[in-house]
Amino acid sequence: MPSASAREAALATTPAASLVFTTVLSHGPLTRAEIARRTRLSAAAVTKAVRPLMELGYVIEDPNQGTRSALGRPAIPVRVDGGKAFFVGVKVTGDEIIAVLADLCCRIRVVRHLALADRQPGAVLASIAELVLELLTEAEGFGAPVRGLGIAVSGDVDREDGVVRYSPFLQWRDVRLAEIIGAATGLPVTVDNDVRALTVAEQWFGAGVGLSSFALVTVGAGIGCGLVVHDRVVSGAHGVTGEIGHVSIDPLGPCCYCGNNGCVEAIAADPAILRGVREATGKPVATAAEALELARSGDLGAREVYARAGQAIGQAIGSVVNLFGPQRVIISGEGLAAYDLFAEGIRDAFAASAFGSAAQSDVMTRPLPFEEWARGAAATAIQSFIGSDTYEE
C-alpha cells in the first residue's frame, strides 16, 4: 500500500480533486450536490473526488450544517479541516520580512516581523530561513505538519523556476530563491510576484470569492495589478503581467526608473509623491507620512501632488477595465492611507477613461496590512500543495 505522502502526491495531480478541494475551500461547507453545481462536475465525479480527500482527512463532513433533501435524506455538507496541515508565507519588502504560519484554510495563526538591515540576497535569504525555521518550531505546537512555504517578492518573478529575475526595490537579479530556501528549510517552496500572490488570496478567501473576473490594483511603494480572467490568475507568457505601474500616461512626465517617461508609478507611487511634494512645497519632507500630514494640513502644493497621483491611478484603472472588463476592481496597498486625497482624482479619471459599459465595473477599496500579503504567499503554497491549476498565460 502506498504511503500517505505518496497518496497525497498522486492526489495533487487529479484535476477533479483539485477543483473540488478549492471549491470547498472557498465556499464550504457545501453538500456534494452544491459542489456538483458549482464545479459542473457530475455527481459521480464529485463523489470520486471527495472520497480520497476524506480518507486523507483534508475534507470532513459537517453534520451540524446538514439539511434535508427533497427525498427526506440528510444532505451533509463537507468542509476543509484547516488544522490538518500548515503553511508558511513570507512577504519580503524593502525594509522588512513578514512571515506567517497559516493553516490549510489560510487562517493566520502566528506572525513574525524582522527588519532588514541589508538587502543583499545572501543576508535576506539567511533571514528568511531563520524566520521559517522559527515558525516550523511554532507549528509543532499545533500537531500538524507544515506542507509548504510560499515567498512573495515584488518585481519580475518566475514562479515555475522559483527565480526572482528582477526586483527593483531589492535590486536583485536572477536570485534562485526557491532552490536556496528549499535546501535551507527542507520544504517545498513556491516563489511568486507579491501582487499575484495577494490576488490568489483574494480569489480564494477575500473580495474576489465567487467572481470569475476581477482586478486587484495595489498602490504604495509601487503600483501593481493582479488579474483574474475566467477564474484564472493571469501570469503572462513570460511571468510578467498587470504591470500598470509602467504604463506611460504622460510622455512628457517624470522619468521612471524603468527608463520611460510619465509612467503611472513615476507619478503615483510613494517615492514619486514624496519627490513631488518636496518640489511643490520646497519643504524637506522625509517620509510618506510627513508628506501626507502636510497635504492634510491644507498645503495646496502637496494636495495637488496627491490629486495628480489619483488621476494617474484612475486613468490606469480605466485602462484595465477597458482591456479586461472585470466584474470588480479592488484597490489595496499601503498607499490607501492617502485615499481621501486620491479619491476624487481616481473617480473622475476613471469615469473619463472607462469606455461604455466597462464603467459598470465595481470599484472598491480594501485596506490590507502586510500580514495579508504574507498570507497571500501562504495561499500560493497551498495552491501548489493541492495542485490547483488556477494560473493562465
Residue 349 and residue 221 in one domain: yes
Spatial neighbors of 137 by CB under 8 A, at least 6 apart, are: none
- Which pLDDT does position 157 carry in this prediction? 93
Q: How far apart are CA 97 and CA 111, in angstroms?
A: 11
**Shortest CA distance to 175 belongs to which of 128, 111, 237?**
128
Residue 220 and residue 147 in one domain: no
Averaged pLDDT, groups of 10, the chain, 393 residues long = 40 74 92 94 93 91 67 76 96 95 97 94 96 96 95 93 92 96 96 96 94 95 93 82 89 89 94 95 93 95 96 95 94 93 94 91 93 96 80 48
3-state secondary structure of 143: coil
Residue 55 and residue 124 in one domain: no
- Which pLDDT does position 204 carry in this prediction? 93
Residue 380 and residue 337 in one domain: no
Residue 98 and residue 153 in one domain: yes
Alpha helices in 229-299 (DSSP H): 264-268, 270-281, 288-296
Residue 150 and residue 289 in one domain: no
**Shortest CA distance to 272 belongs to which of 259, 281, 263?**
263
- Which pLDDT does position 12 carry in this prediction? 46
Give the cell for residue 87. Answer: 503553511
- Is 161 exposed, middle or buried, given 0-12, 13-18 or 19+ CB atoms closer than 10 A? middle
CATH number for the domain spanning 332: value is: 3.30.420.40
Q: Among 24, 52, 80, give the residue marking a domain's end.
A: 80
CATH number for the domain spanning 20: value is: 1.10.10.10
Q: How far apart are CA 301 and CA 276, in angstroms?
A: 9
- Which pLDDT does position 26 carry in this prediction? 92
Residue 231 and residue 315 in one domain: yes
Residue 222 and residue 166 in one domain: no
Stated pTM of the model? 0.89
Residue 53 and residue 11 in one domain: yes
Residue 132 and residue 66 in one domain: no
Q: Which domain holds residue 345?
A: 208-365
- Which pLDDT does position 238 carry in this prediction? 72
Q: Among 80, 104, 121, give the residue marking a domain's end.
A: 80
The separation between CA 158 and the C-alpha centre of its own chain, rounded to angstroms, equals 15
Q: Among 49, 80, 111, give the residue marking a domain's end.
A: 80
Residue 235 and residue 331 in one domain: yes
Spatial neighbors of 194 by CB under 8 A, at least 6 apart, are: 91, 92, 152, 153, 154, 224, 373, 376, 377
Give the cell for residue 58. Answer: 483534508
Residue 307 and residue 282 in one domain: yes
Domain count, the chain: 3
Are 116 and 62 spatial neighbours (Cβ–Cβ below 8 Å)? no
- Which pLDDT does position 387 carry in this prediction? 83
